[in-house]
């Protein structure tokens, strides 16, 4: 069989070109995590062209550097161009499942890089067939997605003012606060102040990014619950799923796994150990749309809730996430697809549209989003 030929003998739609750019896009304000702070977001933009002239776009992103998962934007560029592109060029773009497996075979440990390439293939497949990607995934359950606003690790008064403004203007009804950048006691008092000020008007969740140990979690989670926080994301390091199970047994807070759940195999283990009430789904950490849907399938089978997470994507990656999360049957915890709201500029011709705390889905084939090439020139790294 020649490369690109299909086993059923049908004519293939082969990929003929793959290109990448690194873009550095400023944020509207610095965003602080437990161990990193970012004031620009770097994006690896992937452009894939098919033999009939169809173009698909994808993006690889990590949240503000390699601290989260070990991959960097610069490393991803090398992986994509040197190792992943040869797996894609000459192959049928309509066979995205097979393409995803080929990518996993050459760079299994680099899900963020693989996700950018696979995303471009889904977009090209949808565009070549003239259908939105959610239809390739079996169709969507909803055309708008609730969006939690993620707050940085700033002092309480700054966060209360920010939250009150967003509530008063009807822009968000739920908030996620980053924790872990300061000693636990000080951090908990800061968050408790915010929860007490706005907890009756909004859902408050917190994300520790794995920065506590079990003792700190036993000591402080009840204080957060008492103040009105309802969900805690990844209080313990990724590998400590046994500890998550014991916190789950002993806390009224919902426990969400993020760094602990990358793949369907992780999801099965967590489901068996009863370590989480909810999974944060992210296309990037799972290595693409095929794999994140497997995580969602395990969640559905195990009765675990799903949450549409972000690695701070542009309107392109946000649209891709919206296609996946809208076609996920149960999305009990909503999403945090706020990327385009925290980026100071948009690189697409169809910027993400938000209304009353929801992300509205774009119409059109693929992800419904095209790239503004002037913005690529403006933000492209030279
Ligand atoms: Mn998280």
Ligand 1 midpoint to CA 5 (Å)? 41
Cα R_g (the chain), whole angstroms? 20
Whole-number pLDDT of residue 2: 47
To 10 degrees, what angle do helices 289-302 and 111-129 make? 100
Which pTM value belongs to this model? 0.95
Cα 313 to averaged position of ligand 1 atoms, centre (Å)? 14
User: DSSP of 195-248, one letter per residue?
Assistant: HHHHTTTSEEEEE-TT---HHHHHHHHHHHHHHTEEEEE--S-TT-HHHHHHHH
CA of 344 to the centre of ligand 1 (A): 22
**Average pLDDT of the segment spanning 34-40:** 83
Q: Does residue 185 surpass a pLDDT of 70?
A: yes
Q: CA angle 109-115-121, nearest 5°?
A: 135
Distance 265 CA to ligand 1 centre (A): 19
Ligand 1 being an ion, which residues bring their Cβ within 5 A of it? 207, 233, 258
Does the active-site annotation cover 313? no
Which residue out of 59, 233, 336, 350 is catalytically annotated?
A: 336
* Mean pLDDT to the nearest integer, 313-340: 97
* Percent of the chain scoring above 90 in pLDDT: 88
* The predicted structure's pLDDT at residue 154: 82
* pLDDT band for position 31 (cuts 50, 70, 90): confident
CA–centroid distance, 9 to ligand 1, in Å, is: 45
Q: Would you state the pLDDT for residue 182? A: 92
| 176, 178, 282, 375: the active-site residue | 178
Find the 309 Cα to ligand 1 centroid distance in Å: 7
Is 282 among the catalytic positions? no
């Amino acid at each position: 069989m020649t490369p690109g030929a299909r086993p059923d003998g049908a004519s293939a739609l082969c990929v003929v070109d793959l290109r990448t750019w690194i873009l550095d896009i400023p944020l509207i304000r610095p965003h602080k995590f437990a161990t990193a702070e970012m004031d620009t977001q770097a994006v690896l933009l992937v452009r894939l062209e098919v033999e009939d002239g169809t173009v698909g776009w994808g993006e690889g992103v990590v949240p503000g550097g390699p601290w989260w998962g070990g991959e960097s934007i610069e490393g991803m560029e090398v992986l994509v161009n040197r190792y992943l592109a040869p797996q894609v060029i000459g192959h049928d773009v309509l066979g995205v499942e097979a393409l995803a497996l080929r990518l996993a075979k050459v760079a299994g440990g680099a899900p963020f890089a693989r996700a950018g390439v696979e995303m471009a293939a889904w977009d090209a497949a949808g565009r070549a067939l003239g259908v939105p990607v959610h239809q390739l995934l079996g169709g969507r359950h909803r055309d708008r997605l609730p969006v939690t606003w993620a707050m940085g690790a700033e002092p309480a008064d700054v966060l209360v003012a920010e939250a009150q403004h967003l509530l008063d203007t009807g822009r968000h009804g739920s908030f996620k606060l980053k924790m872990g950048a300061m000693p636990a006691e000080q951090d908990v008092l800061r968050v408790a102040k915010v929860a007490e000020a706005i907890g009756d008007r909004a859902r408050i969740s917190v994300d520790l990014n794995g920065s506590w140990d079990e003792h700190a979690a036993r000591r402080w989670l009840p204080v957060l619950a008492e103040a009105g926080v309802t969900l805690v994301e990844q209080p313990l390091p990724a590998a400590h799923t046994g500890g998550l199970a014991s916190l789950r047994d002993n806390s009224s807070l919902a426990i969400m796994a993020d760094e602990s759940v990358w793949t369907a195999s992780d999801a099965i283990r967590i489901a068996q150990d009863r370590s989480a009430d909810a999974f944060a789904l992210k296309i990037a950490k799972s290595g693409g749309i095929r794999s994140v849907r497997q995580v969602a399938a395990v969640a559905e089978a195990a009765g675990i809730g799903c949450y549409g997470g972000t690695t701070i994507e542009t309107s392109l990656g946000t649209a891709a996430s919206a296609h996946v999360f809208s076609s996920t049957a149960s999305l009990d915890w909503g999403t945090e697809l706020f990327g385009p709201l925290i980026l100071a500029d948009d690189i697409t011709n169809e910027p993400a549209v938000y209304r009353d705390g929801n992300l509205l889905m774009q119409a059109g084939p693929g992800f419904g989003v095209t790239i503004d090439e002037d913005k690529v020139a403006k933000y492209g790294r030279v």
